[in-house]
Amino acid sequence: MDGMTTATDIRLADDNDHEWLYTLHELAHRALVEEAYGPWDDAQQSDFFAALITDYDAYVVESAGQPIGSLYLGTRDEDTFVALVEITPGQQGQGLGTSVLNWVAEYSQREGRGTVLQVHKLNPAAKRLYERLGYEPAGETETHFLLRRPAGLPA
């Protein structure tokens, strides 16, 4: 997925971004992780983060040249898989998540793919956002809803 550029200021992450990306991960997800699984375990979360960086294409979302979010993309079956989207807490609720997901939808559309993601059941606001953007139920686990946005929907 190299070479994707857009006015949304999303760029591939490099090694210099990893510390900031991990800090963002903690800022964006610590409360949910602790609510769902108990106290934040830094070693466990570091392992989770290392797998994200290894297994997915990591992107940095920027505004005015400053990092404000992250995006991790891969492929699941024939769809684009959104492994994780994170926006800094102070920037949430301003349409940035929508902008990032529209960017992903445009990418998927160009590739003739649908888009899939999962959302934790303790995050109903994110689930509502995804549904508003055309994601439909596609399954669930004990902890997450799986949602899919079919190929062909306009971004």
pLDDT at 72 over 90: yes
- pLDDT digit string (tens) for 73-82? 999 989 999 9
Assigned domain for 38 exists: yes
Assigned domain for 41 exists: yes
Assigned domain for 155 exists: no
Please give the tally of structural domains in the chain: 1
Residues 6+ apart with CB under 8 A from 48: none
Provide the whole-model pTM. 0.86
Q: What mean pLDDT is predicted for residues 141-153?
A: 90
CATH of the domain at 122: 3.40.630.30
Q: Residue 1: pLDDT band by 50, 70, 90 thresholds? A: very low
